[in-house]
Structure 1
Amino acid sequence: MKATVPISIASLKAACSQCNLQELCLPFGMTENEIDRLDELVGTRRKIKRQQHLYRAGDLFEAIYAIRAGSFKTDVLLEDGREQVTGFQMTGEILGLDGISTEFHTCNAIALEDSEVCVIPYGKLEELSRQVEGLQHQFHKVMSREIVRDHGVMMLLGSMRAEERLAAFLLNMSQRFTARGFSAAEFHLRMTREEIGSYLGLKLETVSRAFSRFQEDGLVAVQQKHIRILDIAGLRKLLQHQPSGG
Protein backbone atom coordinates (compact mmCIF):
# COMPACT_ATOMS: atom_id res chain seq x y z
CA MET A 1 0.00 0.00 0.00
CA LYS A 2 1.38 3.42 -0.95
CA ALA A 3 1.85 5.71 2.02
CA THR A 4 0.93 9.34 1.31
CA VAL A 5 1.19 12.33 3.62
CA PRO A 6 -0.44 15.76 3.07
CA ILE A 7 2.10 18.53 2.59
CA SER A 8 1.66 22.19 3.47
CA ILE A 9 3.32 25.19 1.79
CA ALA A 10 5.25 25.91 5.01
CA SER A 11 6.79 22.45 5.06
CA LEU A 12 7.27 22.57 1.28
CA LYS A 13 9.40 25.71 1.59
CA ALA A 14 11.45 24.16 4.38
CA ALA A 15 12.08 20.97 2.43
CA CYS A 16 12.92 22.49 -0.95
CA SER A 17 16.06 24.52 -0.25
CA GLN A 18 18.32 21.79 -1.71
CA CYS A 19 15.92 20.43 -4.33
CA ASN A 20 16.38 20.63 -8.10
CA LEU A 21 12.66 21.39 -8.35
CA GLN A 22 12.74 24.37 -6.01
CA GLU A 23 12.49 26.85 -8.90
CA LEU A 24 9.57 24.83 -10.28
CA CYS A 25 7.68 24.62 -6.99
CA LEU A 26 8.66 28.11 -5.77
CA PRO A 27 9.54 30.23 -8.83
CA PHE A 28 11.26 33.54 -8.09
CA GLY A 29 9.00 36.56 -8.21
CA MET A 30 5.78 34.73 -7.43
CA THR A 31 3.14 36.58 -5.44
CA GLU A 32 1.96 35.23 -2.07
CA ASN A 33 -1.36 34.32 -3.69
CA GLU A 34 0.40 32.31 -6.40
CA ILE A 35 2.59 30.55 -3.82
CA ASP A 36 -0.52 29.61 -1.85
CA ARG A 37 -1.92 27.96 -4.98
CA LEU A 38 1.08 25.65 -5.15
CA ASP A 39 -0.57 23.64 -2.38
CA GLU A 40 -2.72 22.33 -5.26
CA LEU A 41 0.42 21.25 -7.12
CA VAL A 42 2.41 19.36 -4.50
CA GLY A 43 -0.41 17.69 -2.63
CA THR A 44 1.24 14.62 -1.08
CA ARG A 45 4.47 12.97 -0.10
CA ARG A 46 4.90 9.25 -0.66
CA LYS A 47 7.14 6.91 1.33
CA ILE A 48 8.82 4.07 -0.56
CA LYS A 49 10.57 1.22 1.26
CA ARG A 50 13.97 -0.08 0.12
CA GLN A 51 13.69 -2.29 -3.00
CA GLN A 52 10.08 -1.18 -3.61
CA HIS A 53 9.01 0.32 -6.93
CA LEU A 54 7.90 3.93 -7.17
CA TYR A 55 6.61 3.04 -10.64
CA ARG A 56 7.16 0.33 -13.24
CA ALA A 57 7.72 0.35 -17.00
CA GLY A 58 4.30 0.41 -18.65
CA ASP A 59 2.57 2.20 -15.78
CA LEU A 60 0.38 5.15 -16.76
CA PHE A 61 2.30 8.43 -16.44
CA GLU A 62 0.49 10.64 -13.94
CA ALA A 63 3.11 12.59 -12.00
CA ILE A 64 6.72 13.61 -11.66
CA TYR A 65 8.50 13.12 -8.35
CA ALA A 66 11.00 15.19 -6.37
CA ILE A 67 13.09 12.99 -4.07
CA ARG A 68 12.72 14.50 -0.61
CA ALA A 69 14.86 11.85 1.12
CA GLY A 70 16.69 8.72 0.02
CA SER A 71 17.83 7.49 -3.40
CA PHE A 72 16.60 5.49 -6.38
CA LYS A 73 17.79 3.64 -9.45
CA THR A 74 16.02 3.45 -12.78
CA ASP A 75 16.35 0.40 -15.01
CA VAL A 76 14.86 -1.30 -18.06
CA LEU A 77 14.41 -4.99 -18.78
CA LEU A 78 16.38 -6.18 -21.80
CA GLU A 79 15.09 -8.81 -24.23
CA ASP A 80 17.35 -11.48 -22.71
CA GLY A 81 15.85 -10.84 -19.26
CA ARG A 82 18.74 -8.83 -17.85
CA GLU A 83 18.19 -5.50 -16.10
CA GLN A 84 20.03 -2.49 -17.53
CA VAL A 85 20.49 0.33 -15.02
CA THR A 86 19.80 3.67 -16.72
CA GLY A 87 20.39 6.07 -13.83
CA PHE A 88 20.79 6.81 -10.14
CA GLN A 89 18.85 9.63 -8.48
CA MET A 90 19.40 11.12 -5.03
CA THR A 91 17.75 13.55 -2.63
CA GLY A 92 16.71 16.76 -4.39
CA GLU A 93 16.61 15.21 -7.86
CA ILE A 94 13.76 14.30 -10.17
CA LEU A 95 12.06 11.08 -11.28
CA GLY A 96 9.31 10.40 -13.79
CA LEU A 97 10.19 12.55 -16.80
CA ASP A 98 10.52 9.37 -18.89
CA GLY A 99 6.73 9.14 -19.13
CA ILE A 100 5.96 12.55 -20.63
CA SER A 101 6.29 11.68 -24.34
CA THR A 102 4.25 8.45 -24.46
CA GLU A 103 2.11 8.98 -21.32
CA PHE A 104 3.46 5.67 -20.01
CA HIS A 105 6.63 5.10 -18.00
CA THR A 106 9.41 3.52 -20.03
CA CYS A 107 11.55 2.34 -17.10
CA ASN A 108 11.29 1.08 -13.53
CA ALA A 109 12.11 3.32 -10.55
CA ILE A 110 13.24 1.39 -7.45
CA ALA A 111 14.24 2.73 -4.05
CA LEU A 112 17.84 1.93 -3.05
CA GLU A 113 16.96 2.75 0.58
CA ASP A 114 13.87 3.83 2.51
CA SER A 115 12.92 7.02 0.66
CA GLU A 116 10.30 9.74 0.38
CA VAL A 117 9.14 11.72 -2.66
CA CYS A 118 6.99 14.78 -3.28
CA VAL A 119 4.27 13.85 -5.78
CA ILE A 120 3.60 16.50 -8.45
CA PRO A 121 0.61 15.50 -10.62
CA TYR A 122 1.50 16.36 -14.21
CA GLY A 123 -2.02 17.44 -15.19
CA LYS A 124 -2.09 19.99 -12.37
CA LEU A 125 1.41 21.14 -13.29
CA GLU A 126 0.29 21.81 -16.87
CA GLU A 127 -2.86 23.61 -15.71
CA LEU A 128 -1.00 25.78 -13.22
CA SER A 129 1.79 26.58 -15.70
CA ARG A 130 -0.82 28.20 -17.96
CA GLN A 131 -1.92 30.43 -15.10
CA VAL A 132 1.33 31.25 -13.29
CA GLU A 133 3.72 33.30 -15.39
CA GLY A 134 7.18 31.79 -15.65
CA LEU A 135 6.28 28.34 -14.29
CA GLN A 136 6.40 26.64 -17.70
CA HIS A 137 9.77 28.23 -18.45
CA GLN A 138 11.14 26.94 -15.15
CA PHE A 139 9.89 23.43 -15.91
CA HIS A 140 11.63 23.50 -19.30
CA LYS A 141 14.86 24.44 -17.51
CA VAL A 142 14.46 21.42 -15.22
CA MET A 143 13.89 19.12 -18.21
CA SER A 144 16.87 20.57 -20.04
CA ARG A 145 19.19 19.75 -17.13
CA GLU A 146 18.05 16.14 -17.25
CA ILE A 147 18.68 15.95 -21.01
CA VAL A 148 22.18 17.37 -20.56
CA ARG A 149 22.92 14.80 -17.85
CA ASP A 150 21.71 11.94 -20.07
CA HIS A 151 23.86 13.24 -22.93
CA GLY A 152 26.86 13.21 -20.59
CA VAL A 153 26.26 9.53 -19.80
CA MET A 154 26.12 8.68 -23.51
CA MET A 155 29.48 10.39 -24.01
CA LEU A 156 30.85 8.48 -21.02
CA LEU A 157 29.85 5.08 -22.37
CA GLY A 158 30.88 5.80 -25.92
CA SER A 159 34.40 7.10 -25.52
CA MET A 160 36.00 5.99 -22.25
CA ARG A 161 37.98 3.03 -20.97
CA ALA A 162 36.83 1.19 -17.84
CA GLU A 163 38.90 3.16 -15.31
CA GLU A 164 37.94 6.44 -16.96
CA ARG A 165 34.26 5.51 -16.71
CA LEU A 166 34.52 4.74 -13.00
CA ALA A 167 36.54 7.93 -12.36
CA ALA A 168 33.90 9.98 -14.18
CA PHE A 169 31.15 8.26 -12.20
CA LEU A 170 32.81 9.01 -8.84
CA LEU A 171 33.48 12.64 -9.82
CA ASN A 172 29.86 13.00 -10.93
CA MET A 173 28.59 11.58 -7.63
CA SER A 174 30.96 13.91 -5.76
CA GLN A 175 29.55 16.94 -7.60
CA ARG A 176 25.97 15.87 -6.93
CA PHE A 177 26.61 15.33 -3.22
CA THR A 178 28.29 18.74 -3.08
CA ALA A 179 25.24 20.34 -4.70
CA ARG A 180 23.10 18.83 -1.93
CA GLY A 181 25.36 20.37 0.75
CA PHE A 182 27.27 17.17 1.61
CA SER A 183 30.97 16.36 1.51
CA ALA A 184 32.59 16.23 -1.93
CA ALA A 185 35.24 13.78 -0.76
CA GLU A 186 33.41 11.31 1.47
CA PHE A 187 30.07 9.68 0.78
CA HIS A 188 28.11 6.44 0.91
CA LEU A 189 27.05 4.79 -2.34
CA ARG A 190 23.67 3.11 -1.98
CA MET A 191 23.97 1.09 -5.19
CA THR A 192 25.90 -2.20 -5.52
CA ARG A 193 29.02 -2.61 -7.65
CA GLU A 194 26.98 -4.78 -9.98
CA GLU A 195 24.49 -1.93 -10.44
CA ILE A 196 27.36 0.51 -11.05
CA GLY A 197 28.71 -1.89 -13.67
CA SER A 198 25.32 -2.15 -15.37
CA TYR A 199 25.07 1.63 -15.50
CA LEU A 200 28.61 2.08 -16.85
CA GLY A 201 28.47 -0.82 -19.30
CA LEU A 202 31.09 -2.81 -17.36
CA LYS A 203 31.22 -6.30 -15.87
CA LEU A 204 31.23 -6.66 -12.09
CA GLU A 205 34.82 -7.96 -12.09
CA THR A 206 35.95 -4.95 -14.13
CA VAL A 207 34.36 -2.52 -11.65
CA SER A 208 36.01 -4.36 -8.73
CA ARG A 209 39.41 -4.30 -10.47
CA ALA A 210 39.09 -0.58 -11.17
CA PHE A 211 38.22 0.16 -7.52
CA SER A 212 41.23 -1.93 -6.43
CA ARG A 213 43.51 -0.06 -8.84
CA PHE A 214 42.24 3.29 -7.53
CA GLN A 215 43.02 2.18 -3.97
CA GLU A 216 46.51 0.97 -4.93
CA ASP A 217 47.19 4.30 -6.63
CA GLY A 218 46.00 6.26 -3.59
CA LEU A 219 43.09 7.85 -5.41
CA VAL A 220 40.31 6.55 -3.16
CA ALA A 221 39.78 4.61 0.05
CA VAL A 222 36.91 2.12 -0.14
CA GLN A 223 35.23 0.33 2.74
CA GLN A 224 32.30 -1.63 1.31
CA LYS A 225 30.00 1.13 -0.01
CA HIS A 226 31.72 3.97 1.83
CA ILE A 227 33.96 6.05 -0.45
CA ARG A 228 36.67 8.57 0.47
CA ILE A 229 38.24 10.42 -2.45
CA LEU A 230 41.88 10.98 -1.49
CA ASP A 231 43.12 12.54 -4.74
CA ILE A 232 40.39 14.29 -6.69
CA ALA A 233 42.96 15.84 -9.04
CA GLY A 234 44.26 12.35 -9.80
CA LEU A 235 40.78 11.17 -10.78
CA ARG A 236 40.42 14.19 -13.06
CA LYS A 237 43.76 13.43 -14.70
CA LEU A 238 42.42 10.02 -15.70
CA LEU A 239 39.76 11.77 -17.75
CA GLN A 240 42.48 13.80 -19.49
CA HIS A 241 44.26 10.57 -20.45
CA GLN A 242 47.15 11.34 -18.12
CA PRO A 243 48.79 8.97 -15.61
CA SER A 244 47.58 9.61 -12.06
CA GLY A 245 50.83 8.97 -10.23
CA GLY A 246 54.56 9.58 -10.54
Structure 2
Amino acid sequence: MTHINIARVILMIPEKRIIRRIQSGGCAIHCQDCSISQLCIPFTLNEHELDQLDNIIERKKPIQKGQALFKAGDELKSLYAIRSGTIKSYTITEQGDEQITGFHLAGDLVGFDAIGGLQHPSFAQALETSMVCEIPFETLDDLSGKMPNLRQQMMRLMSGEIKGDQDMILLLSKKNAEERLAAFIYNLSRRFAERGFSQREFRLTMTRGDIGNYLGLTVETISRLLGRFQKSEMLSVKGKYITIENHAMLSQLAGQSVAVTA
Protein backbone atom coordinates (compact mmCIF):
# COMPACT_ATOMS: atom_id res chain seq x y z
CA MET A 1 0.00 0.00 0.00
CA THR A 2 1.17 3.54 -0.69
CA HIS A 3 0.82 4.59 2.97
CA ILE A 4 3.17 1.91 4.29
CA ASN A 5 6.89 2.38 4.82
CA ILE A 6 8.07 -0.80 3.10
CA ALA A 7 11.70 -0.45 4.13
CA ARG A 8 10.75 -0.10 7.79
CA VAL A 9 8.33 -3.03 7.60
CA ILE A 10 10.90 -5.36 6.04
CA LEU A 11 13.29 -4.71 8.93
CA MET A 12 10.61 -5.99 11.31
CA ILE A 13 9.81 -9.19 9.35
CA PRO A 14 11.60 -12.45 10.14
CA GLU A 15 14.04 -13.55 7.43
CA LYS A 16 11.95 -16.56 6.41
CA ARG A 17 9.04 -14.26 5.55
CA ILE A 18 11.26 -12.05 3.41
CA ILE A 19 12.48 -15.14 1.55
CA ARG A 20 8.90 -16.36 1.07
CA ARG A 21 7.88 -12.97 -0.35
CA ILE A 22 10.83 -12.89 -2.78
CA GLN A 23 10.01 -16.40 -3.95
CA SER A 24 6.37 -15.43 -4.55
CA GLY A 25 7.30 -12.46 -6.70
CA GLY A 26 8.16 -9.84 -4.12
CA CYS A 27 5.14 -7.60 -4.75
CA ALA A 28 2.39 -8.91 -2.46
CA ILE A 29 1.78 -7.36 0.93
CA HIS A 30 0.90 -10.16 3.33
CA CYS A 31 -1.58 -9.94 6.20
CA GLN A 32 1.25 -9.72 8.75
CA ASP A 33 2.58 -6.59 7.07
CA CYS A 34 -0.66 -4.82 6.13
CA SER A 35 -1.20 -1.46 7.84
CA ILE A 36 -4.97 -1.97 8.23
CA SER A 37 -4.99 -5.64 9.30
CA GLN A 38 -6.35 -4.70 12.75
CA LEU A 39 -9.59 -3.61 11.04
CA CYS A 40 -9.84 -6.70 8.87
CA ILE A 41 -10.02 -10.49 9.23
CA PRO A 42 -6.42 -11.03 10.54
CA PHE A 43 -7.12 -9.16 13.78
CA THR A 44 -6.52 -11.44 16.86
CA LEU A 45 -4.97 -14.27 14.78
CA ASN A 46 -1.60 -15.70 15.81
CA GLU A 47 1.32 -16.16 13.41
CA HIS A 48 0.42 -19.74 12.46
CA GLU A 49 -3.21 -18.77 11.81
CA LEU A 50 -2.11 -15.76 9.77
CA ASP A 51 0.05 -18.02 7.61
CA GLN A 52 -2.94 -20.28 6.92
CA LEU A 53 -5.10 -17.28 6.03
CA ASP A 54 -2.35 -15.84 3.83
CA ASN A 55 -2.24 -19.06 1.83
CA ILE A 56 -5.86 -18.74 0.65
CA ILE A 57 -5.89 -15.00 -0.13
CA GLU A 58 -5.37 -13.77 -3.67
CA ARG A 59 -3.99 -10.23 -4.00
CA LYS A 60 -5.71 -8.88 -7.09
CA LYS A 61 -4.41 -6.30 -9.51
CA PRO A 62 -5.66 -2.72 -9.03
CA ILE A 63 -9.35 -2.22 -9.70
CA GLN A 64 -9.83 0.91 -11.77
CA LYS A 65 -12.37 3.66 -11.09
CA GLY A 66 -15.79 2.57 -12.33
CA GLN A 67 -14.86 -1.11 -12.49
CA ALA A 68 -17.27 -3.60 -10.89
CA LEU A 69 -16.02 -5.90 -8.15
CA PHE A 70 -19.17 -8.00 -8.47
CA LYS A 71 -22.73 -7.55 -9.72
CA ALA A 72 -26.16 -8.39 -8.31
CA GLY A 73 -27.04 -11.97 -9.18
CA ASP A 74 -23.43 -13.16 -9.26
CA GLU A 75 -22.72 -16.36 -7.35
CA LEU A 76 -20.90 -15.83 -4.06
CA LYS A 77 -17.39 -17.09 -4.64
CA SER A 78 -15.31 -14.72 -2.55
CA LEU A 79 -15.36 -11.96 0.02
CA TYR A 80 -13.20 -8.92 -0.69
CA ALA A 81 -11.03 -7.06 1.82
CA ILE A 82 -10.20 -3.53 0.70
CA ARG A 83 -6.50 -2.70 1.03
CA SER A 84 -6.75 0.81 -0.41
CA GLY A 85 -9.30 2.95 -2.19
CA THR A 86 -13.08 3.24 -1.89
CA ILE A 87 -15.83 0.88 -3.05
CA LYS A 88 -19.51 1.79 -3.19
CA SER A 89 -22.26 -0.80 -2.89
CA TYR A 90 -25.65 -0.23 -4.45
CA THR A 91 -28.82 -1.90 -5.64
CA ILE A 92 -31.14 -1.17 -8.56
CA THR A 93 -34.75 -0.40 -7.62
CA GLU A 94 -37.79 -1.76 -9.45
CA GLN A 95 -37.96 1.59 -11.24
CA GLY A 96 -34.41 1.10 -12.52
CA ASP A 97 -32.82 3.68 -10.24
CA GLU A 98 -29.54 3.24 -8.41
CA GLN A 99 -29.74 3.21 -4.61
CA ILE A 100 -26.40 3.43 -2.84
CA THR A 101 -26.25 1.32 0.32
CA GLY A 102 -22.70 1.93 1.53
CA PHE A 103 -19.21 3.33 1.02
CA HIS A 104 -16.41 0.93 1.94
CA LEU A 105 -12.90 2.06 2.89
CA ALA A 106 -9.57 0.32 3.44
CA GLY A 107 -9.98 -2.41 6.04
CA ASP A 108 -13.63 -3.06 5.21
CA LEU A 109 -14.85 -6.43 3.97
CA VAL A 110 -17.31 -6.45 1.07
CA GLY A 111 -19.76 -9.23 0.19
CA PHE A 112 -21.23 -10.25 3.56
CA ASP A 113 -24.79 -9.69 2.31
CA ALA A 114 -24.40 -12.60 -0.13
CA ILE A 115 -23.75 -15.26 2.51
CA GLY A 116 -27.42 -15.97 3.25
CA GLY A 117 -28.46 -16.80 -0.31
CA LEU A 118 -24.96 -17.52 -1.69
CA GLN A 119 -25.69 -14.88 -4.32
CA HIS A 120 -24.81 -11.19 -4.37
CA PRO A 121 -27.96 -9.06 -3.93
CA SER A 122 -26.09 -5.83 -4.70
CA PHE A 123 -23.40 -4.33 -6.89
CA ALA A 124 -19.93 -3.20 -5.79
CA GLN A 125 -18.02 -0.62 -7.83
CA ALA A 126 -14.71 1.21 -7.35
CA LEU A 127 -14.95 4.98 -6.83
CA GLU A 128 -11.20 5.32 -7.38
CA THR A 129 -8.30 3.03 -8.18
CA SER A 130 -8.48 0.43 -5.40
CA MET A 131 -6.62 -2.64 -4.21
CA VAL A 132 -8.45 -5.63 -2.75
CA CYS A 133 -7.65 -9.05 -1.34
CA GLU A 134 -9.93 -11.78 -2.69
CA ILE A 135 -10.80 -14.43 -0.09
CA PRO A 136 -12.52 -17.60 -1.42
CA PHE A 137 -15.62 -17.99 0.73
CA GLU A 138 -15.85 -21.80 0.89
CA THR A 139 -12.22 -22.10 1.93
CA LEU A 140 -12.61 -19.28 4.45
CA ASP A 141 -15.73 -20.92 5.87
CA ASP A 142 -13.91 -24.23 6.24
CA LEU A 143 -10.91 -22.53 7.83
CA SER A 144 -13.08 -20.61 10.30
CA GLY A 145 -14.50 -23.93 11.52
CA LYS A 146 -10.99 -24.94 12.57
CA MET A 147 -9.90 -21.57 13.94
CA PRO A 148 -12.10 -20.10 16.72
CA ASN A 149 -10.31 -16.73 16.57
CA LEU A 150 -11.07 -16.43 12.87
CA ARG A 151 -14.71 -17.40 13.38
CA GLN A 152 -15.10 -14.84 16.18
CA GLN A 153 -13.54 -12.09 14.08
CA MET A 154 -15.87 -12.91 11.18
CA MET A 155 -18.83 -12.63 13.55
CA ARG A 156 -17.54 -9.30 14.86
CA LEU A 157 -17.23 -7.94 11.35
CA MET A 158 -20.73 -9.11 10.41
CA SER A 159 -22.11 -7.67 13.65
CA GLY A 160 -20.52 -4.34 12.79
CA GLU A 161 -22.18 -4.36 9.39
CA ILE A 162 -25.59 -5.09 10.92
CA LYS A 163 -25.07 -2.28 13.44
CA GLY A 164 -24.18 0.07 10.60
CA ASP A 165 -27.40 -0.81 8.77
CA GLN A 166 -29.43 -0.17 11.92
CA ASP A 167 -27.75 3.20 12.46
CA MET A 168 -28.47 4.15 8.85
CA ILE A 169 -32.17 3.39 9.30
CA LEU A 170 -32.17 5.54 12.43
CA LEU A 171 -30.39 8.36 10.62
CA LEU A 172 -32.84 8.45 7.73
CA SER A 173 -35.91 8.17 9.92
CA LYS A 174 -35.01 10.58 12.73
CA LYS A 175 -32.62 13.19 11.33
CA ASN A 176 -33.27 16.24 9.17
CA ALA A 177 -31.15 17.01 6.10
CA GLU A 178 -28.57 19.09 7.98
CA GLU A 179 -28.10 16.43 10.65
CA ARG A 180 -27.82 13.65 8.07
CA LEU A 181 -24.98 15.33 6.21
CA ALA A 182 -23.22 16.28 9.45
CA ALA A 183 -23.43 12.66 10.65
CA PHE A 184 -22.08 11.43 7.32
CA ILE A 185 -19.05 13.74 7.45
CA TYR A 186 -18.47 13.12 11.16
CA ASN A 187 -18.40 9.36 10.68
CA LEU A 188 -16.18 9.54 7.62
CA SER A 189 -13.79 11.55 9.79
CA ARG A 190 -13.92 8.88 12.50
CA ARG A 191 -13.31 6.08 10.02
CA PHE A 192 -10.32 7.86 8.49
CA ALA A 193 -8.88 8.33 11.99
CA GLU A 194 -9.27 4.59 12.69
CA ARG A 195 -7.14 3.94 9.60
CA GLY A 196 -4.34 6.24 10.68
CA PHE A 197 -5.28 9.17 8.44
CA SER A 198 -6.19 12.72 9.38
CA GLN A 199 -9.66 13.06 10.85
CA ARG A 200 -9.58 16.80 10.21
CA GLU A 201 -8.61 16.95 6.53
CA PHE A 202 -9.65 14.43 3.89
CA ARG A 203 -10.85 14.05 0.32
CA LEU A 204 -14.34 12.88 -0.58
CA THR A 205 -13.94 10.08 -3.13
CA MET A 206 -17.68 10.03 -3.77
CA THR A 207 -19.56 12.69 -5.74
CA ARG A 208 -22.12 14.98 -4.16
CA GLY A 209 -24.68 13.07 -6.17
CA ASP A 210 -23.54 9.82 -4.54
CA ILE A 211 -23.74 11.39 -1.08
CA GLY A 212 -27.21 12.72 -1.79
CA ASN A 213 -28.35 9.35 -3.11
CA TYR A 214 -27.07 7.62 0.02
CA LEU A 215 -28.64 10.14 2.41
CA GLY A 216 -31.92 10.55 0.53
CA LEU A 217 -31.15 14.17 -0.39
CA THR A 218 -30.79 16.07 -3.66
CA VAL A 219 -27.47 17.27 -5.06
CA GLU A 220 -28.70 20.83 -4.61
CA THR A 221 -29.41 20.20 -0.94
CA ILE A 222 -25.94 18.72 -0.40
CA SER A 223 -24.30 21.74 -2.06
CA ARG A 224 -26.43 24.21 -0.12
CA LEU A 225 -25.68 22.52 3.21
CA LEU A 226 -21.94 22.39 2.54
CA GLY A 227 -22.09 26.11 1.84
CA ARG A 228 -23.98 26.64 5.10
CA PHE A 229 -21.46 24.55 7.05
CA GLN A 230 -18.64 26.61 5.56
CA LYS A 231 -20.36 29.91 6.33
CA SER A 232 -20.76 28.85 9.96
CA GLU A 233 -17.01 28.04 10.01
CA MET A 234 -17.70 24.44 10.94
CA LEU A 235 -16.06 23.20 7.73
CA SER A 236 -13.85 24.44 4.92
CA VAL A 237 -14.79 23.02 1.53
CA LYS A 238 -12.56 23.17 -1.56
CA GLY A 239 -13.95 20.95 -4.27
CA LYS A 240 -13.72 17.40 -2.92
CA TYR A 241 -11.47 18.40 -0.01
CA ILE A 242 -12.99 18.82 3.45
CA THR A 243 -11.36 20.44 6.47
CA ILE A 244 -13.18 20.22 9.79
CA GLU A 245 -12.67 23.58 11.50
CA ASN A 246 -14.93 23.01 14.50
CA HIS A 247 -15.10 19.33 15.45
CA ALA A 248 -17.24 19.95 18.54
CA MET A 249 -19.88 21.76 16.49
CA LEU A 250 -19.91 18.98 13.89
CA SER A 251 -20.14 16.29 16.57
CA GLN A 252 -23.06 18.04 18.25
CA LEU A 253 -24.95 18.49 14.99
CA ALA A 254 -24.28 14.88 14.00
CA GLY A 255 -25.50 13.57 17.35
CA GLN A 256 -22.84 11.86 19.44
CA SER A 257 -24.95 8.73 19.92
CA VAL A 258 -25.17 8.16 16.15
CA ALA A 259 -22.35 6.19 14.51
CA VAL A 260 -23.36 5.52 10.94
CA THR A 261 -21.03 3.40 8.84
CA ALA A 262 -20.85 5.25 5.57
Query: Given the two structures, how large is their TM-score scaled by the length of structure 1?
Result: 0.88
Tell me the distance in 2 between the aligned counterparts of 1:80 and 1:189.
Answer: 28
SS in 2 for 1:48: coil
- Per the TM alignment, residue 98 of structure 1 is displaced from its structure 2 partner at its CA by 1.3
The match for 1:121 is: 136
Larger relative strand fraction: 1
Matched pairs, number: 233
Are the structure 2 counterparts of residues 10 and 73 from structure 1 closer, same or farther at C-alpha, using a change threshold of 3 Å?
closer
Q: Does 1:153 align with 2:168?
A: yes
Q: Does 1:27 align with 2:49?
A: no
Confirm or deny: 8 A CA contact 2:32 2:50 kept in the other structure.
no
In structure 1, stretches of 5+ residues that fail to align are 242-246
Q: Does 1:178 align with 2:197?
A: no
Q: Does 1:14 align with 2:29?
A: no
Please give the residue correspondences for 1:185-196 in structure 2 after superposition, counting only pairs within 5 Å. 185-196=200-211
Are the structure 2 counterparts of residues 168 and 33 from structure 1 closer, same or farther at C-alpha, using a change threshold of 3 Å?
closer
Confirm or deny: 8 A CA contact 1:73 1:109 kept in the other structure.
yes
- Per the TM alignment, residue 135 of structure 1 is displaced from its structure 2 partner at its CA by 1.7
Confirm or deny: 8 A CA contact 1:7 1:44 kept in the other structure.
no
- Per the TM alignment, residue 176 of structure 1 is displaced from its structure 2 partner at its CA by 0.2
1:24-81, Cα deviation, whole Å (9 max, x unpaired): 33534x3x44333223331333421100100011111111111011111111111222
Please give the residue correspondences for 1:76-155 in structure 2 after superposition, counting only pairs within 5 Å. 76-155=91-170
Structure 1 ranges of 4+ moved more than 4 A: 5-10
Residue type matched to 1:226 in 2?
Y
SS in 2 for 1:25: coil
Tell me the distance in 2 between the aligned counterparts of 1:91 and 1:27.
Answer: 18
Identity over the aligned pairs, expressed in percent? 39
- Per the TM alignment, residue 149 of structure 1 is displaced from its structure 2 partner at its CA by 1.2
Residue type matched to 2:144 in 1?
S
Tell me the distance in 1 between the aligned counterparts of 2:37 and 2:50.
Answer: 18
Confirm or deny: 8 A CA contact 1:70 1:113 kept in the other structure.
yes
Tell me the distance in 2 between the aligned counterparts of 1:12 and 1:59.
Answer: 27
- Per the TM alignment, residue 151 of structure 1 is displaced from its structure 2 partner at its CA by 1.1
1:86-124, Cα deviation, whole Å (9 max, x unpaired): 110111111111111111111110100011100111101
Are the structure 2 counterparts of residues 34 and 179 from structure 1 closer, same or farther at C-alpha, using a change threshold of 3 Å?
closer
Query: Given the two structures, how large is their TM-score scaled by the length of structure 2?
Result: 0.83
SS in 2 for 1:207: helix
SS in 2 for 1:37: helix
Please give the residue correspondences for 1:215-226 in structure 2 after superposition, counting only pairs within 5 Å. 215-226=230-241
Are the structure 2 counterparts of residues 63 and 7 from structure 1 closer, same or farther at C-alpha, using a change threshold of 3 Å?
farther
SS in 2 for 1:110: strand
